[in-house]
């Protein structure tokens, strides 16, 4: 949510140049429009490095007069201007009948990705978990910049990290590149430091900005050495005091010296010179930096934060730092992007979704039955594709847990518990299918997969199985079941029970056919992934699913495995006759899925155990048509 931060000093200065309140507002709007419409024209001049709005300087001192301010690489006498290949900047521009003075300052800018060596490596340049704003980050092909803050996708709520284009993308990068923390300049062991992938980026008038997913690492939004979290964005004005925490210079203080500025930056390589919009920050003389530098190479991507009237950081973002004055300049300035512009361009927000609240005893309970059952493990070759949330591959929901395959966008397995004696009748009406906001949307097969076709959103852990416990607990489980991490594509006729309905009746069947101890059943289930699965809308669709029922009967643990195959060869034609459900051994499910089950449930699996070399059961098997076909022995 944008929140404008007003500054009485700059407002009063504008008022001196206008006769009425309406005029002062128009006056700033006119100046802003002048820079936006004519800025590119001025920047074609090889000697002009930026144009913006600032206080006019006289004899190196600020006045209270608003001016259209130009910075040039080389300041010269009028008679020498032509020799620089430049043109003379007029003393004023007439805007809406008012003469607005100009000001010319010698200054040049460079993107803050040049780096300096140091003897002692600070915590900002080490691998951190949780990650925080103000520490080193970079594209795997880059050097090092700074983490700005945590943001969220406006549409899906997926969490991302915000930094600069030239930090996360760069001239050698492409969308989807690995992002590492710390950057390679600070630690070249990139294979150990991967933390996400480049999702979106922009370089242009809206700013120098990019976002990355967050994988295998946790995140805390409290800025390092400042201890505050950024929760709002503001609009900087002349004279506003700001503070930042960057990878190289640490905590530095500044004052907004120019607004509505367009800067010409040379990014080198094939990118070359680019015009970037933003505002300028000068040294806060009441809090000068120890080495005279408010920014240095490697600070790119850090967030400038407004200071409150008591001098402390406010938690309101003023801008995203992306450049400083180039070497050889006599003064010290920094340049930052406007938050509103980059948030609109990247379609992000600081307002995160309401994350799943933590409750005791949530998720799949391994001790739900009278016999403890361990969660399934992954074979080594599958571990690289798992999504890790807060240092755990197991992601918990109410009454179920899962391990997500981030490449396939569906779970390796889902585990859930059913308390048959405590089921609540709760309506599913009005509950939307949504992405889990804790996980990047890139790793979830969301609503875009199911639009305008005959694919159903099929629950892996059945909604009706999960709605037990207290009313509040059951209602939460009801909603949790609709996260896309628990959903897989199934042909509509099958999922709705017109054909192959036995698959959806397995849980009910165990209660009907067996004397289940305490009416409690635990289940594992999920899709079977094949290399040749059909690709539809950039997603490989599973064509087989598996399920294991676990329960205690007469004080003896039982486990029954089942496999579903469905015809997805003719998705567009919807040839849906080939649905079959088979009872199979647990060892076969292990072999097909690359999973490792608890030895206790494999030992009590009484179904056929004769396997071929690939671990697949060989005897001829008939599909299950009715509950009576199931071997409950």
φ, ψ dihedrals at 34, nearest 5°: -60, -45
Helix (H) or strand (E) holding 256: strand 250-266
Contact 15, 66 (CB under 8 A): no
Which residues sit opposite 523 in a β-bridge?
A: 416, 549
Question: Could you tell me the domains of the chain?
Answer: 1-353 (no CATH), 377-629 (3.40.570.10)
C-alpha 250/C-alpha 231 separation (Å) is 21
pLDDT of residue 5: 41
Per run of 10 residues, the mean pLDDT along the chain (length 633 residues) is 42 37 55 90 90 86 88 77 80 89 84 51 87 96 95 83 96 92 93 92 95 88 94 94 95 95 89 93 92 90 95 95 72 90 94 61 88 96 93 94 97 96 87 90 91 88 93 91 94 48 86 91 96 91 94 95 69 50 92 95 77 51 83 87
Question: At how many degrees (to 10) do helices 8-16 and 21-43 cross?
Answer: 90
> Considering only CA atoms, which of 11, 472, 486, 86 is closest in space to residue 239?
11
C-alpha 359/C-alpha 515 separation (Å) is 31
pLDDT of residue 322: 95
Is the pTM higher than 0.75? The answer reads: no
C-alpha 550/C-alpha 423 separation (Å) is 18
What string of H, E and C letters represents the secondary structure of 271-292? CCEEEEEEEEEEECCCCCCCCC
C-alpha 581/C-alpha 500 separation (Å) is 7
3-state secondary structure of 352: coil
pLDDT of residue 429: 84
φ, ψ dihedrals at 601, nearest 5°: -80, -25
Which residues sit opposite 266 in a β-bridge?
A: 273
CA atoms within 13 A on the CB side of 110: 16
C-alpha 629/C-alpha 631 separation (Å) is 7
pLDDT of residue 360: 46
Phi-psi region of 47 (alpha: psi -120 to 50; beta: other; left: phi over 0): alpha
C-alpha 576/C-alpha 598 separation (Å) is 35
CA distances from 447 to 79, 442, 450, 540 (A): 66, 12, 5, 15
């Amino acid at each position: 949510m944008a929140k404008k931060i007003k500054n009485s000093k700059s407002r009063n200065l504008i008022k001196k140049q206008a006769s009425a309140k309406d005029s002062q507002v128009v006056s700033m709007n006119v100046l802003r429009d002048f820079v936006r419409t004519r800025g590119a024209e001025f920047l074609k001049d090889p000697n002009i490095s930026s144009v913006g709005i600032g206080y006019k300087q006289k004899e190196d001192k600020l006045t209270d007069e608003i001016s259209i301010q130009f910075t040039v690489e080389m300041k010269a006498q009028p008679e020498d201007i032509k020799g620089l290949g430049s043109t003379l900047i007029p003393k004023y521009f007439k805007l809406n009948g008012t003469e607005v003075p100009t000001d010319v300052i010698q200054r040049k800018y460079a993107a803050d990705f040049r780096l300096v060596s140091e003897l002692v490596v600070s915590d900002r340049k080490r691998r951190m978990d949780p990650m925080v704003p103000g520490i080193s980050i970079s594209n795997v092909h880059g050097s090092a910049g700074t983490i700005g803050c945590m943001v969220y996708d406006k549409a899906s709520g997926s969490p991302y990290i915000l930094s600069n284009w030239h930090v996360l993308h760069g001239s050698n990068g492409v969308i989807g590149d690995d992002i590492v923390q710390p950057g390679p300049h600070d630690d070249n062991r990139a294979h150990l430091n991967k933390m996400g992938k480049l999702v979106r980026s922009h370089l242009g008038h809206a700013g120098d900005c990019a976002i990355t997913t967050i994988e295998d690492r946790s995140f805390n939004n409290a800025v390092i050495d400042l201890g505050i979290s950024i929760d709002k964005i503001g609009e900087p004005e002349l004279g506003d005091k700001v503070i930042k925490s960057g990878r190289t210079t640490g905590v530095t203080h500044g004052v907004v010296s120019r607004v509505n500025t367009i800067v010409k930056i040379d990014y080198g390589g094939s990118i070359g010179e680019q015009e970037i919009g933003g505002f300028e920050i000068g040294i806060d003389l009441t809090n000068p930096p120890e080495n005279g530098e408010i920014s240095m190479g490697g600070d790119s991507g850090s967030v400038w934060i407004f200071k409150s009237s008591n001098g402390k950081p406010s938690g309101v973002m003023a801008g995203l730092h992306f450049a400083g004055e180039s070497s050889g300049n006599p003064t010290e300035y920094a340049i930052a992007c406007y938050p509103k512009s980059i948030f609109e361009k990247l379609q992000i927000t600081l307002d995160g979704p309401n994350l799943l609240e933590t409750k005791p005893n949530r998720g799949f309970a391994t001790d739900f039955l009278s016999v403890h059952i361990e969660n399934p493990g992954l074979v080594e070759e599958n571990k690289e594709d798992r999504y890790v949330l807060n240092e755990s591959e197991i992601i918990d929901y109410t009454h179920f847990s899962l391990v997500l395959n981030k490449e396939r966008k569906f779970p390796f397995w889902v585990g859930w518990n059913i308390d048959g004696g405590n089921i609540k009748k709760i309506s599913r009406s009005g509950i939307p299918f949504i992405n889990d906001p804790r996980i990047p949307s890139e790793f979830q097969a969301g609503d875009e997969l199911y639009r305008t076709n005959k694919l159903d959103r099929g629950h892996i852990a059945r909604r009706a199985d999960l709605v037990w416990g207290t009313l509040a607990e059951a209602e939460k489980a009801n909603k949790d079941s609709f996260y896309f991490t628990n959903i897989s594509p199934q042909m509509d006729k099958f999922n709705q029970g017109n054909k192959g309905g036995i698959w959806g009746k397995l849980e009910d069947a165990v209660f009907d056919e067996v004397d289940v101890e305490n009416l409690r059943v635990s289940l594992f289930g999920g899709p079977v992934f094949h290399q040749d699965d059909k690709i539809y809308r950039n997603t490989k669709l599973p064509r087989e699913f598996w399920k294991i029922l676990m329960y205690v009967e007469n004080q003896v643990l039982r486990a029954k495995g089942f496999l579903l195959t469905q015809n997805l060869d003719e998705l567009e034609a919807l040839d849906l006759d080939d649905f079959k459900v088979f009872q199979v051994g647990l060892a076969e499910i292990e072999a097909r899925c690359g999973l490792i089950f608890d030895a206790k449930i494999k030992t009590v699996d009484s179904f056929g155990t004769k396997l071929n070399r690939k671990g697949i059961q060989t005897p001829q098997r008939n599909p299950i048509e009715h509950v009576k076909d199931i071997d409950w022995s």
